[in-house]
A and B are shown apart, each in its own frame.
Chain A
Amino acid sequence: MCLAVPTQIIKLLDNQMALTSLAGVEKEISLALLAEPVSIGDYVIVHVGYALSKLDEADAQKTLAYFTELLDEENYTQTRE
């Protein structure tokens, strides 16, 4: 597989580089593979020091909302029982 993790951009640097943070661990990475613009606060998926893509936060929230729904349904059923 390819180990890649979502990290947050905390600073944009020269030469298509950026400083990213994951739980307070900071690392300079390259943005050279991204065509789309990124800004501070965005999450990017990083592999071997390169951002592979920008994380679509709205999309992630949709998946997470579905997860919350699953939990709510369960709680609802449990209360009714």
Chain B
Amino acid sequence: MKYIDEFRNSAVAQQLIKQIKLLANPQREYRLMEFCGGHTHAIHRYALNQVLPSNIKLIHGPGCPVCVLPIPRIDQAIWLASQTEVILCSYADMLRVPGDHQDSLIKAKSRGADIRIVYSVNDALELAKHNPTKQVVFFAIGFETTTPPTAHAILTAQKLGLTNFKVFANHVLTPVAMEAILDSDEVNLDGFIGPSHVSIIIGANAYAQVATQYQKPIVIAGFEPLDILQSILYLLELINQGKTEIINQYSRAVSAKGNLAAQQMVSQVFKLRDEFSWRGLGSIAKSGLAINENFQGYDAEKYWQIPIFKTSDVKACECPQILRGLKQPRECKLFAKACTPEHPMGACMVSSEGACAASYQYRID
């Protein structure tokens, strides 16, 4: 697989690890947060955490949209799916995520709700075309990477005059969440391994605030293991020299300004919400997107009076600390006991991208 396999070469990995070892100052710790679940997954999948010097601490951030979606929004999706006129389309990732009382979309499906797994939002559009008597609702989740396809689907629906296509919008923003983490006082981070595919859309410059205002270096890193190792190498250089720059390691896909056409589509269709709640992090101002008034015909939240659910996170769950890098998954009392991938109690266990799920799945006792 061209442009994948080359970035998984183990001989090169050994060299990069050697360089990292040379550069890592044994007198100090390097606390690096990988924001994206994709990085978390790759780090565990290739067991990179075990081959790095022990004073490099990788802290798993909240960059998994499935994990951070608050329980009440899942309850609302289940409510939508349970309406007789609705076909609810969802990415498969959301199906098993538990809402209130461990209910989930997959359970709603077994009760007779018409829920379809789609690979692309385009598949939901097709369903809307072929089911004119139904309301086809797309359960839109994801960061900046996944938002432009949703925006494009709404624009296409408008072009086609499809009136039975609706979107339940839950798209959220990355840099704002990074800043929210840095805003909490106790957080102790030396730098960020920055998002790969989010950055393709928003561009490397989007993290300027993180670098300048919060004085943290950030290296935008591809998701392949060599990308991650090379980015750690760059971060160590920056940290050793006390620099707070943005370096773009994933320059084969990410530009400084990002994908402007996609950004334009997003700003045409969506607007900022005053605030949006993140599971594990709480409410963050201007961190989520809602559908613009001009497109309200496609907004599931306008078409239905969706009840407001008020389920709160489990009290004993340490996700808020884990997502801020203050605790490791194993330090949570619930980890691997009450909280497992089969019965997740908190955000980080919900999807295989989550910090706890990755730690659980790839753990060595």
Contacts and interface: CB of A to CB of B under 8 A. Distances in A.
Direct chain A–B contact by Cβ atoms under 8 Å: yes
A43 B146 contact: no
A79 B218 CA distance: 37
B120 A2 contact: no
Given A4-B197, A53-B253, A71-B15, A48 B146 contact: yes
Nearest to A60: B252
Contacts of B40: 1
B38 A1 contact: yes
Interface residues of B, number: 54
Nearest to A8: B2
B146 A2 contact: yes
A63 B226 CA distance: 10
A6 B198 CA distance: 15
Contact of B223 (A1, A34, A74): A1
A32 interface: yes
B196 interface: yes
A45 B146 contact: no
A35 B261 contact: yes
Contacts, number: 121
B15 A70 contact: yes
A52 B259 contact: yes
B148 A50 contact: yes
Chain A interface main SS type = mixed
A31 B120 CA distance: 13
Nearest to A72: B15
Given A1-B37, A33-B149, A55 B64 contact: no
Report, as a range, how many residues of chain A touch the other chain: 20 to 34
B145 interface: yes
A77 to B, nearest CB: 10
Interface string A45-63: 1011110110111011001
Given A2-B142, A55-B3, A33 B259 contact: yes
B279 interface: no
Contacts of B64: 1
B137 interface: no
Given A45-B197, A60-B3, 6 more contacts: A2-B196, A4-B200, A52-B145, A53-B259, A64-B6, A71-B12
20 contacts: A1-B41, A2-B36, A4-B196, A6-B4, A30-B122, A30-B149, A30-B152, A33-B259, A33-B262, A47-B146, A47-B149, A48-B91, A49-B121, A50-B148, A53-B200, A53-B254, A53-B259, A56-B251, A63-B251, A67-B12
Name the 10 nearest CB pairs between A and B, nearest first: A1-B38, A49-B120, A2-B145, A35-B261, A60-B252, A70-B15, A1-B37, A2-B197, A6-B3, A1-B36
